[in-house]
Structures are given as structure tokens and as C-alpha cells.
Amino acid sequence: MMASIRAEWIKLVTTRTFYGLTATAGAFAAFVVFGVMAGDPTPWHVTQPLHESEGWKIVGITVSLFSLMLGAKLFTDESRYGSIVHTFFANPGRTRALAGKAVTAAGGAAITATAALIGAAVGTYAPAALSGGDITTQFASDVVPALGLVAVGIAWAIMGLGLGAIVKNQVPAAVSAILWVLVMENIAGSFMGDAVRFLPGRLADGVAQAPTDGAVLGAGVGALLLALYAATMWMLGWSLVRRRDIP
């Protein structure tokens, strides 16, 4: 098992895609929170915890989307270039290979979420400091939401891995990820009523304690249900990969 994890981790960190996704997530998070702040007159003041800002929800969406795409690419990249053949030859049962990918997806998503956190902090505190505004740091109150955001990234990455294993093709997987996170959950929220709380995006809002107008579940319950979503998607991908011929 450790050999599978090590092999998958080497694949991840030796490709430019991982660094591109991580850097883009951090830069976009910084841009979003600064954009929200820029709507106010200067000097800009920071007097509330980071997770209570209007941009925090978009930071959560950013982490969800980029983590989902990261997880999917762990499978679709290998399928596209044919290296999945060698991966499954080394792991004939295929279970250890997918488990190793899941652990790697979790680690990669944690790094990507951390980059987004750093970007959000820089985009908040740097402009305030440069404009001469008042800054009241409340890092202690941001610890739990920050850990929740990392957990959200991990769950979405494992869901993405399951999606990649199901779809196999890179483009449909990426399009599906974008449509679900940015479009479908918003459409579903218009007619599902309170049941919308159980969609992955709303669960992520609760876990990361993001400001939202709609109803959300508590962080603990949300984390458990997100983990269930992740496990279900992984199991669906695993069940198909076990029965499917190597492409």
C-alpha cells in the first residue's frame, strides 16, 4: 500500500498541472477577497474574522472546484496517456492503486486548499495594510473554518477521483466538475427547498462556516455527509474499474 501511495505521489508532484491548479487557486482566492474589499472606500479596514467576509464563500467554491478537478485528473491523465496500463499491471487487483490515488488526492487537495487560504489572507490583509486601514487580527477564530476548508478540499478531491474513474475522459470530467459546482447546485437550490442543505456544496458551506443566505447543516454533520459522498463516489469508481477492461 505504501508503495502505491509513494508512486501516486511522485506522479502528482512531477507534473505541472498540480502546481498550476494550486497556484491558480491561491491567486484566484486573493483576487476574490480583494475584489470584495475594493468595493468599499479606502482606507480598507479588517475588523472581522476572515471566514465572516463576503469572499469566504467564493474561496470555498474555489477550493471545491479545483480539488474536484485535481482528483479527476489523477485518473483521467493516466487514462489519456496510457500509463494506467502499467499502474494496473503493478496492482492487478486495482484496489490498492485506487486507494493510493485517494490518499494522494487528499494530500494534494490539502496543499491546494492551504494555497487558497494563504491567498485569501494576503488578499485581505495586504491591501488593508498598504491603504493604512485598521487591522484587527482574529486568527484564533479562523482556525476551525480553515481546517474545515481543508477538509472540504479533501472530500471534493476524492469525489473527483471517483468521477475520473467513472468517466475516464479528461474533457467530460472537467466539464462535469465545472457544471456541477458552478451551475447545477445553484439551479437545484431554486426548487429543492430545505433539502438543498444536503447537496455537497451546501454541506461544504457548513463545514467551512461560510456566510450563506440559505439553510446549512452544522460543521460536524456536514463533514460526515461530505465524507459519505466522497466514499460513495470512490466506491462507484472502484466498482467500475474492477470490472472494466484496461483502456
pLDDT tens readout for residues 94-125: 778 888 889 999 999 999 999 999 998 888 88
Cβ atoms within 10 Å, residue 188: 15
Residues ≥6 apart with Cβ < 8 Å to 57: 205, 210, 211, 212
Judged by DSSP in three states, 77 sits in helix
Q: 2-13 and 95-130 helices cross at what angle (nearest 10)?
A: 40
Query: How far, in Å, CA of 65 to CA of 153, rounded?
Result: 9
- For the chain, give the percent of residues with pLDDT over 90: 30
Task: Tell me the average pLDDT across 217-239.
Answer: 90
Highest average pLDDT, of 129-143, 199-213, 222-236, comes from 222-236
Q: How confident is the model at residue 89 (pLDDT cuts 50, 70, 90)?
A: low
Task: Tell me the average pLDDT across 162-181.
Answer: 84
Of residues 149, 162, 183, the one with CA closest to residue 60? 149
Task: Tell me the average pLDDT across 54-70.
Answer: 89
Q: Which residue has the cell 433539502?
A: 195
pTM: 0.89
Q: Would you state the pLDDT for residue 70?
A: 93
Cell of 96: 490498492
